[in-house]
Amino acid sequence: EDQVTQSPEALRLQEGESSSLNCSYTVSGLRGLFWYRQDPGKGPEFLFTLYSAGEEKEKERLKATLTKKESFLHITAPKPEDSATYLCAVLAGGGADGLTFGKGTHLIIQP
């Protein structure tokens, strides 16, 4: 069974304090690992897709990396507007159509 575990469940940082969120996964044949951001009362918003170990992608203050067992979302010098829940998801091989999501990391950036 495909599994995605995110840690920590919640993280409170001061503005400018860099940190990393972890996503550990177990999947039969990874076709893609996805990071989404979700604000309260809204649907998830796409951030990144990673396909193979060693791949990295960046967008503004966010950088996602991938190994064979886990992915990290690095947040550099965060701002209060980066506060949100960050969701990690995997798409398995074998013809699966739906993403398997983790529970998310609730990130709060204090000014």
Partner 1 sequence: GAGVSQSPRYKVAKRGQDVALRCDPISGHVSLFWYQQALGQGPEFLTYFQNEAQLDKSGLPSDRFFAERPEGSVSTLKIQRTQQEDSAVYLCASSLAGTGANVLTFGAGSRLTVL
The residues of the shown chain that bind partner 1, judged by CB under 8 A, are: 4, 31-32, 36, 41-46, 49, 87, 89, 91, 96-104
For residue 44, cis peptide bond before it (omega within 30 degrees of 0): no
The rounded distance, in Å, linking the Cα atoms of 107 and 61 is 14
For residue 99, the minimal CB distance to partner 1 (Å) is 6
Give the residue with the Cβ less far from partner 1, 12 or 103: 103
Give the residue with the Cβ less far from partner 1, 46 or 111: 46
> Smallest Cα–Cα separation from 90: which of 38, 34, 45, 24?
34
For residue 47, the minimal CB distance to partner 1 (Å) is 10
Instruction: Enter the tokens of residue 89.
Output: 């998801």
Give the residue with the Cβ less far from partner 1, 99 or 109: 99
For residue 6, the minimal CB distance to partner 1 (Å) is 8
CB atoms within 10 A of CB 31: 14
